[in-house]
Structure 1
C-alpha cells in the first residue's frame, strides 16, 4: 500500500450533537484536508502550525496545537481502519476493537498501516488573532489567565532575553472581518519571519557572540498585529528556515520552573541560541500514549538552526524536564527508551501488550519503535542507526 495514494474523501456524516464525522484516506495531507473540509463548511477543532504532514503521520506521533480546553489531533479521531500484519483490514473505534483503536490512532504505526481515519470535525469557524510582544516575566506571572482566558494561547521566548511574542487566538462570529493588509502579511510572514530570520541565523552561525544582540534586537523589533481569518489560516504558519527540534510535554504547573531552569543553563553554558523557545498548552486526555495523558499540559519546544550543533543544548533540556516527568514528542528528537518512557506513561504496559498481540512477528518493527516501545516479545531487538 502506498500511503500517499490513499487520500480520498469517503464519507461526511452529520451527528446529533452538531459535529460531523468525516472519513478520509489516511494519506491525505493536512493542507489538503483543511481545504476539503472548508469546501463542506467544516473545520478541524484544533491544529498545529504546520500542514505538510499526512493525517496518518500527524495522529500517530501525537501532533497537537494549543488550547487549554483542547487535545491533540488524535483526540479528534473517532475511527480508524488499519491493515494488520496478517493483511486483514480492520475497522476500529471506541466500541469496535477499542484496545487496538488506542494504538491505531496514536501508536507510531506499531499495530498496522492506517488506511482511513474518521475525524470528528466542527462547523467552519473564524478566529481573531492577536500577536503582541510581552515581557517574559509578565507572561509567566499572568500565565493562568492567558491560557484559560483564550481559546488558543502560545508564546515564543527569545533566549538571551526576557522577551516573548504572545499569540492569542479566539473564536469570533462569522460576520466579523478584519483582514490583515496583504503587504503587512507578506512583510511579517515572509520577509521577517522567514527571510530576515534566515539571515540572522546565518549571521549567528558565523559570529556566535552576536547571537544575544541579534535576539535582543529581534525581540524589540516585534510589533503587535491583529486580524481575523478562517481557523486554518490562523493556525498554519509558513516555516522555511530549516531547524532541528525537540519538544517535551510537562505538567502545566511546572512550566515556569522549567523555563527558568533552561534560562539559567543557557546563560551558564555559553551556548548561543538564535531560535526562540515555543510554548503551547493542551487539556489532559486519556489516550494511552498521548503526551497529555492524565494531566493539564504545557509543551516546551526547543529548536536549533540546522547548521548549528544541537546535542548539548537538547540533552541539557532533556535532563531538566526529566525532573518533572517530561514526555517527549514521539516524532521529534529525544533520547529516551522504553524503560524510561514506561515510568511516565501509566498505560505504557498496556500499549506494549496490544502491540505484541497485534504484531507478534514484528512486521512493523523498526529500530526506533524497538527503542521507545521495546522489542516485540520473543524477537531480537533491531539496533538503531546512529544519526
Structure 2
C-alpha cells in the first residue's frame, strides 16, 4: 500500500492523491473493502482512467486491478468466456482467438479495462447491437460489506451490475457472451452533411455498423460503413504503409499539429476544417473485427456524448450546427455520430429505446472556458430531446434530471442500497448523479 500517489485521468480533467492498493487476488479485494467499510473510508476501483467524467475519482483509496487479468474460464461451445476484471480490451482479442471467438461489438478505443468499459456504458455502433455491457452473461463482485456476490444470466440484479457505474461493488470477473470470430469490410467515404442526415434512417437499417463524422464549419462528412463477413474472408485493402500514413501520420500526427495551430489562431479553424474535409478520400478495408473497430487515438481531447432517440439525430445535429455558427465557436474536432439497439439494462443510455449518439470533442489545450461553454450549449440542445449523458464523459446532469430520463433510475437506487448501504464506493460524481 502506497500513500499519496498522484493520479490523473487520460483527458487530464480529473486528478487525486489517494492511497493506492494493487490486490493480486479476489480475497485481497474482499479484505480491502471490508477494512474500508469498518474504518469509514471510501474505496474506488480504477481501470485505465480513460473516463472524462469524475466517475473513477477516488475519495480515499484507489484500487488498481492490474493484478486481476486474463481468462478465468472458457466454454467455446457455449461461447462463454470469463475474464478477470482488470483485463484490458486490447488484450481480449488475443485471448479469444484460440477459441475461435470474438466480442460481438466494440467501440473505437481499446485502452479501457473490461470492467471500466462496461461500468461506464462504452458502446460501438449498429442498430442490431447493444453496448459492451449487453454482452455480459454473468459477473462476480465484492459488495460494500466485503462479501463476494456471484450473478448468473438469470439474476435480476445483473441488469444493474452489468452497467453499475462502480456504485455497487468492485467487479472481480465478468463473463462475456461471445460470437464466432468474424471479419469486417470497412468502407470509408466522404459525403455531404445534408445527404448524410437525409439518409440517416436508411443507412442504419441497411448497414451492420454505421457511423459518420461531421467537420464543423463545413458540409463535409466522413462515413464509415462496416459489414460483417466470415472470419475466413481474405484481408484486403491499402498496404500496411498506406494505412500507417492514413491512420497514424494524417489522423494523429498531422491532426495534432492542426489542432495546435487552431488553438493558437482560432480564426483559421474553419479554413483548416474545409481543407481537411475536402482532402477526404474513399477506401475499403477487409480485416478482423478488432482491426476495423479499433482506431488509434493519440491526440488528447475532452469529450461529451449524449444518447437521444435515434430518429431525433438529424434535427439535433442541425441545431448544433446552427448554434456553433451563431455562437461563433471554433471547433477543430469532428462531431461523431453513432447508434445502438435498445436494451434492458437499468442505467444503459439505450435503456428501452433505440438510441443515436452525438459526441462532441475539444482539443485538450483549447481554452477551458470556451470548451465548457461549447459543451454547455450542446448539452442544452440534447437535453431538449430527453438526452442521456454517457456516464464516462463530461456532462453536468444531476440525479433529479437523470431520474426523469431513466425509467429504472429508482430501481437501480434500490439495488445500490442493498449492495452498498454505507456508500463505501461513493465519490462526488456518484453522489451528484445518483443522489444519496
For normalisation by structure 1, the TM-score amounts to 0.94
Structure 2 unaligned blocks of 5 or more: 1-28, 30-63
Partner of 1:325: 386
Q: 2: distance between equivalents of 1:166 and 1:327?
A: 24
Instruction: Provide, for residues 102-137 of structure 1, a one-character-per-residue CA deviation record: whole Å limited to 9, x for no partner.
Output: 222101111110000000001110000100000111
Partner of 2:123: 64
Partner of 1:94: 153
RMSD in angstroms over aligned alpha carbons?
1.0
Which of 220, 224, 229 is the matching residue for 2:287? 229
Partner of 1:238: 296
For normalisation by structure 2, the TM-score amounts to 0.83
For the residue of structure 2 that corresponds to 1:342, the secondary structure is helix
- Structure 1 range deviating more: 166-175 or 188-197: 166-175
Report how far residue 85 of structure 1 moved: 1.3
1:129 aligns with 2:191: no
For the residue of structure 2 that corresponds to 1:214, the secondary structure is helix
Report how far residue 22 of structure 1 moved: 0.2
Q: 2: distance between equivalents of 1:114 and 1:3?
A: 9
Partner of 2:315: 257
Partner of 2:11: none
Report how far residue 177 of structure 1 moved: 2.8
Partner of 2:208: 151
For the residue of structure 2 that corresponds to 1:197, the secondary structure is helix
> Is the contact made by 2:215 and 2:335 (CA closer than 8 Å) also made in structure 1?
yes
Q: 1: distance between equivalents of 2:199 and 2:70?
A: 45
Instruction: Provide, for residues 37-75 of structure 1, a one-character-per-residue CA deviation record: whole Å limited to 9, x for no partner.
Output: 123211000000000000000000000000011000000
1:311 aligns with 2:368: no
Q: 2: distance between equivalents of 1:35 and 1:325?
A: 39
1:279 aligns with 2:340: no
- Structure 1 range deviating more: 157-166 or 175-184: 175-184
Partner of 2:401: 340
> Is the contact made by 2:76 and 2:99 (CA closer than 8 Å) also made in structure 1?
no
Q: 2: distance between equivalents of 1:179 and 1:10?
A: 36
Q: 2: distance between equivalents of 1:105 and 1:361?
A: 21
Report how far residue 14 of structure 1 moved: 3.5
Instruction: Provide, for residues 184-208 of structure 1, a one-character-per-residue CA deviation record: whole Å limited to 9, x for no partner.
Output: 1011001110011001101101111
Q: 2: distance between equivalents of 1:13 and 1:144?
A: 38
Structure 1 unaligned blocks of 5 or more: 376-387
Report how far residue 34 of structure 1 moved: 1.8
1:13 aligns with 2:78: no
1:168 aligns with 2:225: yes
Q: 1: distance between equivalents of 2:144 and 2:127?
A: 37
Instruction: Provide, for residues 293-321 of structure 1, a one-character-per-residue CA deviation record: whole Å limited to 9, x for no partner.
Output: 11111000000001113101000011001
